Chains A and B, each alone.
Chain A
Amino acid sequence: MNHYLSLILFTPLAGALVLLLVNKENANAIRWISNVVAFIGFALSVPLWFWYNPQSGDFQFVERLPWIPSVGAEYFLGVDGLSALLILLTTMMGFIAILSSWTAITERVKEYYIFLLVLQTGMLGAFMALDFLLFFLFWEVMLVPMYFLIGIWGSANRLYSAIKFFLYTLVGSVVMLLGILALYFYNHTLTGVYTFDITQFHRLNVPFELQWWIFLAFFLGFAIKVPMFPFHTWLPDAHTDAPTAGSVILAAVLLKMGTYGFLRFSLPILPDASRHFVPMIAVLSIIGIVYGALVALAQKDWKRLVAYSSVSHMALVMLGMFALNPVGITGSIVQQLNHGISTGGLFLLVGVVYERRHTREISEYGGLSKVMPVYAAVFLIMTMSSIGLPTLNGFIGEFLILQGVFVKSMLWAAFAASGVVLGAAYMLYLYQRTMFGKIENPKNEGLFDLSHREFVTFAPLIVLAVWMGLYPTPFLRRLESSVNHIVVRVNPQYAAACGGGAPTTASAAGNNAAPFLAALPCGPDGKPLTGGATTPASTGAGADIPAETPAAPR
């Protein structure tokens, strides 16, 4: 299909335009239309899973049309494994979020769904865009609907949280724009061509001085989005005051924009600067992991607790990413998906209870498992996923990240592991306080368990959590080439010496364990830990690249 990506991209927008025509009093029609459109959007993206070719290292489903020739901007879309999975996450969570709002939103229903659908298009566009200006356009477009979602349908402090979210992320974005422009003009001085083509930038060799500045410019934009310590304080406010669907989308997808930005832009385009800043980012990430977890432990507001858990989890993601080896990066991406599933699920769970009791105070609850057993079960699964219990998805991500980080620095891995422990602490503490024990508060006694619709919003999440936990191979396989491409760019020594998990023919055949788990990681000295299939370089970097690895940076 020639315009497959555009189809996925514009379906939500088309839905929003359709909604404009519907009479705003007809809330039911609005709800049905938006849910159908969201479901169609998700269904349309499912083929992406099947049609994506894990062997090919190039971007797939590419669409390329001139947009502003005089500045070299194009309408350039394409996906690789990373963005394909993120797109699937987006469409799925978008549908779940819209489904979960059925009874929660009763005022200004039309605008609500329009904003959600426009937001959906913005997020999809950012993941698909391979032209920097186009990417930036979608990146910024996301801000406005989210602002309204928080500001209109949010809770008590919504105006403050909304403007804080908007301005905070905006400052990062506009500084990022300057980085983009610097890159754009540098490319011109080098090649004489004005272009925003990201694949072209991936091939550039930018001098370290310039890389340093551009990396910082990008860093501000992405780090605020992730959010990394100390740029994280917009998140608790935005999450707690947003309506449920807003929080779900914010946690599940919007935060991934930041990490996607690092993976797609900072690491491949600015490899030397990335390597240079690893210590700084590692320190910030570790602080984020531990500090985020500690603050979560101290929270009395349920949603705020989950928000801080997001800070902690995403910091772990960043740490894995900046280990700059295939295992770490793969773990980081997997954990991003996991976080979307588990934290999205956790916010949905809060939303369910909030709809019934209209309070987020943990102390108001207790013993809910007695009256809401199905809810308790779902909550338990999400909790365990968040903690990283083996057999669920969280374990895979955490394990891979820890493995990748351990290779880089045992100290860092130790801190990261402590983050896992703290994660268990606050999540189990939360679960205990809300689900176990006696029902102290009489208002909790009459609570209804999950309705069918609510259960449907959780079902895909549970299925995915178990699937990814028990059988992550299909996911890992699709990530391979993207990860390799990144590692080859950002850590060429490693790729040369350790054969960073190339897409071999072996992996194409059967469903054996992901090949790069078999391709042994290197120790801190850059040599493989045991003999292994690849021939290590005699000493250090720059040696012959073993046959399995991709031939050259694309």
Chain B
Amino acid sequence: MPPGLSTSDFYYILPELVLTAGALILLIVDVLLPRKGGVLAGVTLLALGATAASLVPFAGTHVEVAHGLMAVDGFGLFFKALFLLAAALTVLMSIRYVEIEGVSPGEYYFLILCATLGMMVMAGGIDLISIFIGLETMAVSFYILAGFIKPNQRSNEAAVKYFLLGAFSLGILLYGMSFMYGLSGSTGLRVMAKTFVGQEHDPRLILAVILVAAGIGFKIAAVPFHMWAPDVYEGAPTPVTAFLSVGSKAASFAMLLRIFLEGLPTLNADWVLLFEVLAIVTMTVGNVAALTQSNLKRMLAYSSIAHAGYLLIGVVAAGAGYARGVTATLVYLFTYSFMQLGAFMVIVLMRRENVIGDELKDLSGLYQRRPVAAFAMLLFMLSLGGIPPTAGFMGKFWLFGAAIESGYVWLAVIGVLNSAISLYYYLRIVVFMYLKKDATVAADGGTSPSIAFAMAVAVAATIFIGVYPRLLFELAEVSARTLGATALLTAIR
């Protein structure tokens, strides 16, 4: 292949370039106006907005860039938009939090932008190398962000654990990826797909599949690779946890879908079973373990694990050859982002001067203190549990529909029963908010306008998608179809 990049390549990676530029500008502003949280947040939001704007011209393109390193297609675009949205909401969430914690806002926002950049590269990458680069960028940013509150022991612990286990899983992932490269002679996923046709039962490939799945399983917190999640979620600063649970998960699923559907579609007989088992175990362990948690962030960590399980159902359906599985995963990731971010926003609200605010009992009587926040949390809890008319229900409807259509009825049954189990602990939060009296009369920090706006967005999205999901469904369908292998998939079926 002829070396070097052409100008058209640079055109297609414009969004990533804009974001990089924005991040660098942010650093400069931080040097000039140190510790001015509001201004820095504003610059970050501007950078994110500019990146989002630069995505617009690429709606509808479907090209490969830089000799097959990256793809600019609807699938990637969907995810990139999601990441930017999640990042923006995280930034809004963080403004007051950063102030209370007393950390350096400039570096904090810079790392968020770096993480977002890594996610965007992950979503667009169709080559093992580019995916890996994106993955590492995102992961390292999160390692630092998790430990950002330096005086806090929990935060440090979270960062160290995440780093150690992350490095460990990365090794596993790389090992698997090296097999894939070795057996195909190329790191490009689409090339691999063609090479592997007919090699279905090669045990080396199967080993590669397992290793890669394990590595990705770590990032999406699937059982038994999930054990870092409760500790890291609990220890990291709450907005970081929020972004981690949404952005990192979504990016990892993008990576998963890319690698397995673009790179290994013909091997689906092997990896579909693997993901089926993963899905069942992840859902069940996640939901059951969450039942007895008293720390909200830990509970949401387990809930997040369970949701990865639900999402894996979509992957299974996709692997069985049904494009609906991909659409379902996309829809659910989108709806999941809003409700998860929303739930964490309410926890951030609980952070007051001397109260960390992440215990269940801190929510007691919230309906009296902050009725709007309590209602928002109620909505997010119902959405996470999958009760209509919320976005979460629409997402679950798609997932279970995809499962039934592809014939995995038992998967749907287990998923549905798990939803019921999950509602027990989601409703427990509601019980504390609405059915218990407020024990503490601690001074309330008040709601900053930024987080109020962010919550309003999350609430509006949750209700709107729940009642009128048409736009999201159609968008997801269009995006899913652009995934390279979808045509190949229908051929298999």
Contacts and interface: CB of A to CB of B under 8 A. Distances in A.
Direct contact of A and B (CB under 8 A): yes
B400 A68 contact: no
27 contacts: A67-B470, A68-B473, A70-B470, A133-B397, A137-B388, A137-B389, A137-B393, A141-B387, A151-B434, A151-B435, A152-B435, A159-B435, A163-B424, A167-B424, A170-B420, A171-B420, A174-B416, A174-B419, A175-B413, A177-B400, A177-B416, A178-B400, A178-B404, A178-B413, A181-B400, A181-B405, A185-B401
A147 interface: yes
Contacts of A152: 434-435
A33 interface: no
B413 A140 contact: no
Contacts of B393: 137, 140
Chain A binding surface SS class: helix
B424 A143 contact: no
A494 interface: no
A70 B424 contact: no
B477 interface: yes
Contacts of A174: 386, 416-417, 419-420
B469 interface: yes
Given A68-B470, A159-B435, A170-B423, A178 B416 contact: yes
Contacts of B416: 174-175, 177-178
Q: How large is the interface on B (under 10, 10 to 19, 20 to 34, 35 or more residues)?
A: 20 to 34
Contacts of A70: 470, 473-474, 477
B458 to A, nearest CB: 19
Which of B404, B468, B470 counts the most chain A CB atoms within 10 A?
Answer: B404
B310 to A, nearest CB: 13
B469 A140 contact: no
B207 interface: no
Contacts of A167: 420, 423-424
A39 interface: no
B389 A166 contact: no
Contact of B473 (A71, A166, A170, A184): A71
Contacts of B434: 148, 151-152
Interface string B384-399: 0011110001000100
B404 A143 contact: no
B66 to A, nearest CB: 34
Interface pairs A-B: 5 shortest CB-CB: A174-B416, A137-B388, A181-B404, A68-B470, A171-B420
A136 B473 contact: no
Contacts of A141: 387-389
Nearest to A108: B367
A69 B470 contact: yes
A178 B435 CA distance: 32
B473 A143 contact: no
A136 B387 CA distance: 10
A144 interface: yes
Which of A136, A148, A170 counts the most chain B CB atoms within 10 A?
Answer: A170
Contacts of B435: 151-152, 159
Interface string B464-482: 0000111001100100000
Interface in A175-210: 175, 177-178, 181-182, 184-185
Contacts of A68: 468-470, 473
Q: How large is the interface on A (under 10, 10 to 19, 20 to 34, 35 or more residues)?
A: 20 to 34
Nearest to A148: B434
Interface string A120-161: 000000000000010011001101100110011000000100
A184 B324 CA distance: 14
A69 B387 CA distance: 21
Contacts, number: 76
Chain B binding surface SS class: helix
B412 interface: yes
Contacts of B400: 177-178, 181
Which of A68, A133, A147, A166 counts the most chain B CB atoms within 10 A?
Answer: A68
A140 B393 CA distance: 10
A68 B476 CA distance: 13
A301 B138 CA distance: 62
Interface string B406-426: 000100110011011001100
B208 interface: no
Contacts of A140: 387-388, 393
Nearest to B421: A167
A147 B434 CA distance: 12
B387 A143 contact: yes
A181 B469 CA distance: 17
Contacts of A144: 382, 387
Contacts of B397: 133, 177, 181
Given A67-B470, A184-B401, A185-B404, 8 more contacts: A68-B470, A71-B473, A133-B397, A141-B388, A170-B420, A177-B397, A182-B409, A185-B401
Interface string B90-107: 000000000000000000
B492 interface: no
A159 B431 contact: yes
Interface in B198-238: none
Interface string B449-493: 000000000000000000011100110010000000000000000
B274 interface: no
A133 B466 CA distance: 12
Contacts of B477: 70
B307 to A, nearest CB: 16
A67 B394 CA distance: 13
A411 B469 CA distance: 52
B431 A178 contact: no
B213 to A, nearest CB: 27
A163 B427 contact: yes
Contacts of A133: 397
B423 to A, nearest CB: 6
Given A171-B417, A177-B397, A136 B427 contact: no
A368 B420 CA distance: 45
Given A70-B470, A70-B473, A184-B401, A147 B412 contact: no
Interface string A5-28: 000000000000000000000000
A66 to B, nearest CB: 8
A147 B381 CA distance: 14
Given A68-B470, A152-B434, A178-B400, A147 B420 contact: no
Which of A70, A136, A166, A171 counts the most chain B CB atoms within 10 A?
Answer: A70
Contacts of B469: 68
A174 to B, nearest CB: 4
Contacts of B405: 181, 185
B423 A166 contact: yes
Contacts of A137: 388-389, 393
Interface in A444-499: none
B412 A166 contact: no
B367 to A, nearest CB: 8
Nearest to A176: B416
A314 to B, nearest CB: 23
Interface in A265-292: none
Contacts of A177: 397, 400, 416
